[in-house]
Each structure stands twice: as structure tokens, then as C-alpha cells.
């Protein structure tokens, strides 16, 4: 066994940063809360964000420095982002152009991504994290039977990984949320998010925290390592898209419908490089958890994050979750937590909530928006299966108390008429606190009685952790979910499953009806005795009147003294593997590289590094690299995981051919289409091509997080200066990238293309590297560069 112990800091700059920020601890100290909380709740208070660690004065000071410099009104997004600048007086600020150096307040990591993040942090040689950080065990629990059984099985199957994460967290000063505690974003909303916070998380749905007025951004693990190391974190200065809400939500329309509508307007890449900032008089009609739902699914439009202005709904939520002190502090600094009057947005979208109708988006992409009233007719015309096989509610997007209450109100109406769900029905509580509270208040029983199965407090089917048995792979079918993503095969590994995303209320109604061709606002259900009845609009309390039941205490606070803690990684493990540094750039142009695959159409991080059964290898880079691009469509033959080995002329799986190229000393590139790397923040989609010998990814455009992840690992993410040049590249070409010796911000590179018929041509390639990121490339990775600076 390898016993990993801390080593001393050698870089004076890092030592200074580390010592200054370490004083904040893990952000989990006890503080006074309202006496209405039970003794059981107080036991777990150490997990809450303490008001003592929130420095609104510093935020206010930085905002004023920037305001004087820019001499104009500021959006809320700008206030929070610029309020976290490392150098507010000197930082160049130009929305959409300059890179900002920022000091986030804290880091959150889910267990699938935390493995690689902590392995990288261990490799950095630092003894403790420099900012409050937490790990959340939510991704590795497979839905099979029900909550208790599935959780117990997960603890047994994943014991090695959970032990690694628990001991690494204890060793390096990180809070640890045990399996069963809930989904990272719900836990963060309940404990750590607050108005004005800047939080980064190793999951693309980190923007959930924008529902509580924070700038919460999804990143890869290497970015998290930078922040945990006390190094300023880089982000391209975001543009700001304003969504002005008027009117009031009512009836069947829910907060989910707001983002489903916005996704239809902006598409999956329309928010790239921008923060979506909601404002206007309609905001006050949305609950805090409803605002979180809207921000959460903003990841599906490519946005950097989304945010709502501080209001009384947020203060009430803070009070109900034991953080009333923070609400009182926020009141004192409210002007810093709302946009300035007459601030300017780069784009404005107007939505009248009073006119908004329930929506359902899909299949196969989260931006294909349809009003629920029309989806049945569209499905008939398009040949989509009308029968709803399974309805699934919950997930990090829609698992609040209000969500569960509104779904239960519909289930109760059906039960009163003797009716149960025609489709299978699953319920995923967002946290142990939500689970315990809906059990106490009877919602869980109602949902079970109508035919539902209450799953573990975890991601489950939303991320493909679903042992589905009712259909065979390849069988065409329809499911409806309250999740956020519906890419091909995401939920159940079946490419023929037509997955639709909607609100928990609509999922429940469609599960009762058993068909997509059902509009609950106008259509009738039939009871077992033949009676026709129409569901009344759902209702549900925003927050529990009797306060939350915290349930079981599932939080592990890091010990004050951790020198005796051992972090064990067995060299023979097939799930955990210590990292070896990537090779440095050799100082020359990259010549005669092969094309591993020319990807056709949509290529998400699910296509590049599949989840589901592959999640168990997230801590073992070599093993998980066996899923590299196995879901991407090869333009040569319209097949998945079947590419031609240009050295042998034979066809094989993508990772197999990549390994053969690497063994033969042949560098390779991937050629891709628009918005390459859309979806999850998983940095394995960047680590795997680097590990297997890739040097560059050349595409029409990138999703933000994936582009950054590629840079962090020493790869070249490049875009065609002329997108039509994608069509000029043939799968059997050789490509040389020239101009690397003079690589500089804004300076194009050249691709020399050699065709198999002997002809040659040149095309121009763009990149977005800044000076710091160029040093990552030269060093071989950002982690290598960090070590050089120690």
C-alpha cells in the first residue's frame, strides 16, 4: 500500500496564500441559530456555512473600487464576480475578452470527480486545502430496488473509493458528506451557498447555488486544485445575458418552465461565455428552491452560471435552513446583492410568467422545447413513442420540499379517485434532510401509494446510475423526467430511449396518464370505475411549516490534527491509481499527426467519457480511458466506437486504436463539430485523450468547461478559423500544427493537411490561450506548471 503524507510548501507565494486563507477553516464551524431548531438539528450545525467566514465588507470594498474604475452601473453578476477579483484596482476588465484572476470563497466536489481532483491535489504536495472545501458522495449509488437497499449495496461495492475520499478529506482538511447524505447541489444550497458567495464545484450543475444569490460555477478538477491551493483562479470575463421576468407563476406553470423556455430560446450553446442574470418584478413570485432549479439547468445552455438577486424568498430559506444570521448580514449589504438601476446587459430576454405555459423538452437534447399542450401531436408526427414507460422525479434540479409537495398533491388527487400511475414512477429526494422531512410530513407515503419507488438520496438515473430492467437495449420507448439532461443513452444506456425533461408536476401527471398525449390543464383521466375527472392544479408549501427534519447526521468534519491520517491507494487496485505527470512539450511543431476520429454531430462529455457503469473507474485514469469517445459518431461510417487504424488498415474501438498509436509513438488529434464537450464538467474527457497520446482537439466550437479542461491537461483546444474547413479534413489525413514556437494570445496557428492522394493544403486555426495557459501547455499540464513554481 502507498501511504500518502503531506509535504512542505516550497513556494513563498503559496505559503502566504495558504496561511492567510487557512484561517477560514473548512467553513464548517458552529454558530448560533434560532432556538426553533431541535437538539437533533443542532448536532449537525458544524456543517453549516458560518456567518463569521462571510466578508461582505471586502466584497463591498472591491465593488466600489471597480465601480470607480468603470464609472457605470453594474449588473449583479459583475458585482459578485468583480467583488472577488484578486486585484480589483489593476485587473483589466472587458466583458467577453479579458481573463479575470479571482478568489473564490469555497470549493465543492462530488465523489466521481473528487477522486481525480484529490489525486491531483495530492500530487501538488500541499499539506492542506487553503479554502473551505467539501466532498459529497452522490454519484456512485445505483438505483436498483429502493433507497435503503441501494445505499447499502453502494457502500459495499464502493468501499475502497469511499475510504479513499474520507481519509483524503480528513488528511487535507476537507469536509466529507457520506453516501446517503444527498446530492451535492442540494447540500450546498442547504448549507453553504449564500447571497454574494463565489463557489466553484466539480460538477456542471454547480450553478444551482445561484438560486440563493451566489455566483456558483462548474469546473474541472484541475481548476478546483488551483483554488484549493490558494492560487488565483482564472475565468474569461463573462458577458451578461439579462432575463427580465414579469407577471406571476401560477397553476400548472412551475419554475422549471422558465428555464425550459429559455433553453428553447438560447439553445444548448447560446449562453456560452455568459452569465444569465434573472431580474424584474416576476422574480418575487418564485421560491428560493425554484430559483435554484432555474439556475441549475442553465448549464444546459452553456452558460458560465446563472444568478438571481437577493430577496425575501432567499432570506426565508436561510432562516429555515438554520442560517438566519447570514440573512441579517445580507440585508445590511443588499445594495451589493442586486443589480444597479440602468445596468447594461449584452442581451435581454423578456418572459411574462403569467403567460408562460408548462413545457416539456426533448427528446435527445434539452433545448428542443414544446408546450405540454402540443407535445402529443408533435410526437405522433415525429414517430416518438407516445406511451410513457417511466416517470422519474427528483435530481439536483427538482428535489426540493416544494417540488415533492406539488407532486404529492397530484398523487393524492389520483389516490382519492382510486387511480395509480400507469407508468413506473420513481422519486429521488435531493438530500437526507428532504427525505426525512417528506417522510415525516406524509409526502413520501403518498408518492409510494400511487405507485412510486423512493430511491436513495443520490443522483441515480439522472446520471445513468440506473439498473433498468423493463426494456431491452435498442427497444424504442419514452420516459419523462424532472432531470436536466436527456442526451442519447444518458439515463439508461439505451440509445433508443426517448427522454423528455419537464417539471415534477408534469412528470407525475404523465405517469398517471401513461402517455405523452395528455395535457393536464384540459384532458381527463379515467378512474377504475369509469369516472372521468380532471386534475386540479398542483399545490405545495414552499418550505415545511414545522421546519426541516435533518434526518441522520451524515457529515464528517476534518480533524484539527491530521498528521496521523493515512490515505491508502493499493497499487493493485482497478479503481484508484496515483497520477504520473504528463510529458512536457518538446519545443517543436507537432508533425504528421493521425486523426483518431472525425466526429459527426453532437459530441457531449457523455460521448467522450461515458458515465453509468464507467463511474467506478473515475479514480483510475488508465482503466477509465477504455471508454474514450466510445459514444461519438465516426463520420466515415456513421458508426460508434469503430475507427480505422491508419497503421494497419483494420477497424477497431476508439480507445484501442488510440493505445496502438501511442505504443507506436504516433501522436493524434480529434476533429469535431459545434459545441464540442457540451454537458458535464467531467475532466476525464480531457484527461483520457491526453493519457492515450492525443495532442490537439480541432473543432468548430467548444463548450466552456471542456475547453478549459483540455488546456489544464496540456492539450491544444483549437477551432477552425473558417468553420467550413471541417469539411476539408478527411479521416485518413495527416495533420501538422505549425507556429507553436511563437504561440501567443490571439495569434493563429496553421494546420498543414496531407491527404492520402498526395495533395496538401493549409488552414488557419484559432485558440483562446492567454499567457498563463500557454505556460500550462509548455509544462505539459497546469499541475506540472504549479510544481515548477513551488
Residue by residue, DSSP assigns 300-348 as GGTBSEEE----HHHHHHHHHTT-HHHHHHHHHTGGGGSPPTT---SEE
471 burial level (CB within 10 Å; 0-12, 13-18, 19+): middle
Cell of 353: 410568467
Residue ranges of the chain that CATH labels 3.20.19.10: 590-788
3-state secondary structure of 445: helix
The CA dihedral of 444, 449, 453, 454, to the nearest 10 degrees, is: 10
Residue ranges of the chain that CATH labels 3.30.499.10: 76-352, 359-534
Over the stretch 396-438, which tens digit does the pLDDT of each residue have? 999 999 999 999 999 999 999 999 999 999 999 999 999 999 9
- Confidence class for position 38, pLDDT limits 50, 70, 90: very low
- Confidence class for position 36, pLDDT limits 50, 70, 90: very low
How much is the average pLDDT of 687-696? Answer: 98
Please, which residues have CB within 8 angstroms of residue 174's CB and are 6 or more apart in sequence? 26, 118, 129, 133, 134, 135, 168, 558
How much is the average pLDDT of 50-71? Answer: 94
Cell of 775: 505556460
- Confidence class for position 54, pLDDT limits 50, 70, 90: very high
For cell 453553504, what's the residue?
A: 192
288-296 vs 255-266: helix axis angle to the nearest 10? 20
3-state secondary structure of 234: strand
**Apex CA 107: angle with CA 104 and CA 111, to 5°?**
160
pLDDT at 245: 98
CB atoms within 10 A of CB 541: 13
The CATH number of 359-534 is: 3.30.499.10
8 Å CB contact between 662 and 693: yes
Does domain 76-352 sit in CATH 3.40.50.720? no
Catalytic hit among 323, 620, 659, 682: 682
Taking the whole predicted model, whether its pTM rises above 0.85 is answered as yes
Distances (CA, A) of 584 to 714, 744, 776, 787: 8, 18, 9, 13
| Residue percentage of the chain with pLDDT more than 90 | 90
How much is the average pLDDT of 363-380? Answer: 96
Catalytic hit among 29, 84, 95, 139: 139
pLDDT at 43: 35
pLDDT at 23: 34
pLDDT at 117: 95
Catalytic hit among 106, 323, 370, 485: 485
Cell of 606: 457523455
pLDDT at 46: 59
The b/e string for 140-156 (b: 16+ C-beta within 10 A; e otherwise) is bbbbbeebeebbeebbe
Q: Is 680 a catalytic residue?
A: yes
Catalytic hit among 51, 111, 136, 138: 138
- Terminal alpha carbon distance of the chain: 27
Q: Is 97 a catalytic residue?
A: no
Catalytic hit among 53, 133, 680, 781: 680
pLDDT for residue 27 is more than 70: no
Cell of 320: 429555515
Catalytic hit among 105, 111, 150, 203: 203
CB atoms within 10 A of CB 724: 9
pLDDT at 661: 98
CA distance 517 to 575: 45
383 burial level (CB within 10 Å; 0-12, 13-18, 19+): exposed
| HSE of 710, CA atoms in CB hemisphere, 13 A | 27
pLDDT at 20: 34
CA distance 321 to 547: 8
Mean pLDDT of the chain: 92
Q: Which CATH superfamily is domain 590-788 in?
A: Aconitase, domain 4 (3.20.19.10)
| HSE of 488, CA atoms in CB hemisphere, 13 A | 16
Positive or negative, the CA dihedral 82, 87, 89, 91 is negative
How much is the average pLDDT of 580-598? Answer: 97
Q: Is 395 a catalytic residue?
A: no
Please, which residues have CB within 8 angstroms of residue 489's CB and are 6 or more apart in sequence? 464, 495, 497, 606, 631
CB atoms within 10 A of CB 254: 29
Q: Is 139 a catalytic residue?
A: yes
Q: Is 485 a catalytic residue?
A: yes
CB atoms within 10 A of CB 682: 30
- Confidence class for position 33, pLDDT limits 50, 70, 90: very low
Nearest to 509 by CA among 484, 483, 537: 537
For cell 401531436, what's the residue?
A: 377
Amino acid at each position: 500500500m502507498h501511504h500518502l503524507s503531506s509535504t512542505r510548501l516550497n513556494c513563498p507565494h503559496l505559503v502566504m496564500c495558504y496561511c492567510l486563507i487557512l484561517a477560514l477553516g473548512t467553513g464548517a464551524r458552529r454558530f448560533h441559530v434560532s432556538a426553533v431548531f431541535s437538539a437533533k438539528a443542532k448536532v449537525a450545525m458544524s456543517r453549516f456555512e458560518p456567518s463569521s467566514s462571510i466578508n461582505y465588507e471586502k466584497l463591498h470594498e472591491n465593488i466600489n473600487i471597480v465601480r470607480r474604475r468603470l464609472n457605470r452601473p453594474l449588473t449583479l453578476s459583475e458585482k459578485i464576480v468583480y467583488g472577488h477579483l484578486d486585484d480589483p484596482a489593476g485587473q483589466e476588465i472587458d466583458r467577453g475578452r479579458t481573463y479575470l484572476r479571482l478568489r473564490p470563497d469555497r470549493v465543492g466536489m462530488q465523489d466521481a470527480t473528487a477522486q481525480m481532483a484529490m489525486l491531483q491535489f495530492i500530487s501538488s504536495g500541499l499539506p492542506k486545502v487553503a479554502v473551505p472545501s467539501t466532498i459529497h458522495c452522490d454519484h456512485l449509488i445505483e438505483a436498483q430496488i429502493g433507497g435503503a437497499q441501494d445505499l447499502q449495496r453502494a457502500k459495499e461495492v464502493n468501499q475502497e473509493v469511499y475510504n479513499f475520499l474520507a481519509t483524503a478529506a480528513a488528511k487535507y482538511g476537507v469536509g466529507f458528506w457520506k453516501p446517503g447524505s444527498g446530492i451535492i447541489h442540494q447540500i450546498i444550497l442547504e448549507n453553504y451557498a449564500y447571497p454574494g458567495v463565489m463557489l466553484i464545484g466539480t460538477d456542471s450543475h454547480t450553478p444551482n447555488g445561484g438560486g440563493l444569490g451566489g455566483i456558483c460555477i462548474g469546473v474541472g478538477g484541475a481548476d478546483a486544485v488551483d483554488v484549493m491551493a490558494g492560487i488565483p483562479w482564472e475565468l474569461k470575463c463573462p458577458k451578461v445575458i439579462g432575463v427580465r421576468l414579469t407577471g406571476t407563476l401560477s397553476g400548472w406553470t412551475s419554475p422549471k418552465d422558465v428555464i425550459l423556455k429559455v433553453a428553447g430560446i438560447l439553445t444548448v450553446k447560446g449562453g456560452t461565455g455568459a452569465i444569465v442574470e434573472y431580474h424584474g418584478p416576476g422574480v418575487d413570485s418564485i421560491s428560493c428552491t425554484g430559483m435554484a432549479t432555474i439556475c441549475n439547468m442553465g448549464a444546459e445552455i452553456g452558460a458560465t452560471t446563472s444568478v438571481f438577486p437577493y430577496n425575501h424568498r432567499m432570506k426565508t430559506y436561510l432562516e429555515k435552513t438554520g442560517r438566519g444570521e447570514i440573512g441579517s448580514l445580507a440585508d445590511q449589504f443588499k445594495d451589493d446583492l442586486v443589480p444597479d438601476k440602468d445596468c447594461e446587459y449584452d442581451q435581454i430576454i423578456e418572459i411574462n410568467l403569467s403567460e408562460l405555459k408548462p413545457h416539456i423538452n426533448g427528446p435527445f437534447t434539452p433545448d428542443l422545447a414544446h408546450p405540454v399542450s402540443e407535445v402529443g401531436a408533435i410526437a405522433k408526427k415525429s414517430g416518438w413513442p407516445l406511451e410513457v414507460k417511466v416517470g422519474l422525479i427528483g435530481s439536483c434540479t427538482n428535489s426540493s420540499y416544494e417540488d415533492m409537495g406539488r407532486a404529492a398533491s397530484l398523487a393524492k388527487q389520483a389516490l382519492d379517485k382510486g387511480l395509480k400511475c400507469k407508468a413506473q414512477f420513481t422519486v429521488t429526494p435531493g438530500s437526507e434532510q428532504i427525505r426525512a422531512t417528506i417522510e415525516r410530513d406524509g409526502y413520501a407515503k403518498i408518492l409510494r401509494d400511487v405507485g412510486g419507488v423512493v430511491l436513495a438520496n443520490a443522483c441515480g438515473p439522472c446520471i445513468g446510475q440506473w439498473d433498468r430492467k423493463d426494456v431491452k437495449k435498442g427497444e424504442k420507448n419514452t420516459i419523462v423526467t424532472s432531470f436536466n439532461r436527456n442526451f442519447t443513452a444518458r439515463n439508461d444506456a439505451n440509445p433508443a430511449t426517448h427522454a423528455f425533461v419537464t417539471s415534477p408536476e408534469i412528470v407525475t401527471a404523465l405517469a398517471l396518464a401513461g402517455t405523452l398525449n395528455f395535457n393536464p390543464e384540459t384532458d381527463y383521466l379515467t378512474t377504475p370505475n369509469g369516472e372521468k375527472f380532471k386534475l386540479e392544479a398542483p399545490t405545495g408549501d414552499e418550505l415545511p411549516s414545522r421546519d426541516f427534519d435533518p434526518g441522520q447526521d451524515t457529515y464528517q468534519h476534518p480533524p484539527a490534527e491530521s498528521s496521523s491520517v493515512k490515505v491508502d491507494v493499493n497499487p493493485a487496485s482497478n479503481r484508484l491509481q496515483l497520477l504520473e505527470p504528463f510529458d512536457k512539450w518538446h519545443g517543436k511543431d507537432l508533425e504528421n499527426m493521425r486523426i483518431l476520429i472525425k466526429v459527426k454531430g453532437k459530441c457531449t462529455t457523455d460521448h467522450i467519457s461515458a458515465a453509468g457503469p464507467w463511474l467506478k473507474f473515475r479514480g483510475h485514469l488508465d482503466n477509465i480511458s477504455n471508454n474514450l469517445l466510445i459514444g461519438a459518431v465516426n463520420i466515415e461510417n456513421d458508426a460508434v466506437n469503430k475507427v480505422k487504424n491508419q497503421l494497419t488498415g483494420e477497424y477497431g474501438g476508439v480507445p484501442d486504436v488510440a493505445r496502438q498509436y501511442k505504443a507506436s509513438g504516433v501522436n493524434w488529434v480529434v476533429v469535431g463539430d459545434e459545441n464540442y464537450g457540451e454537458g458535464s464538467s467531467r475532466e476525464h474527457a480531457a484527461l483520457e485523450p491526453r493519457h492515450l497520446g492525443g495532442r490537439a482537439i480541432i473543432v468548430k466550437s467548444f463548450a466552456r468547461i471542456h475547453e478549459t479542461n483540455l488546456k489544464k491537461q496540456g492539450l491544444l483546444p483549437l477551432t477552425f478559423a473558417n468553420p467550413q474547413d471541417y469539411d476539408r479534413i478527411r479521416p485518413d489525413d495527416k495533420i501538422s500544427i505549425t507556429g507553436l514556437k511563437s504561440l501567443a494570445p490571439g495569434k493563429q496557428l496553421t494546420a498543414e493537411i496531407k491527404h492520402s492522394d498526395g495533395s496538401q493544403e493549409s488552414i488557419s486555426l484559432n485558440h483562446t490561450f492567454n499567457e498563463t495557459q500557454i505556460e500550462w501547455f509548455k509544462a505539459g499540464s497546469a499541475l506540472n506548471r504549479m510544481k515548477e513554481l513551488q
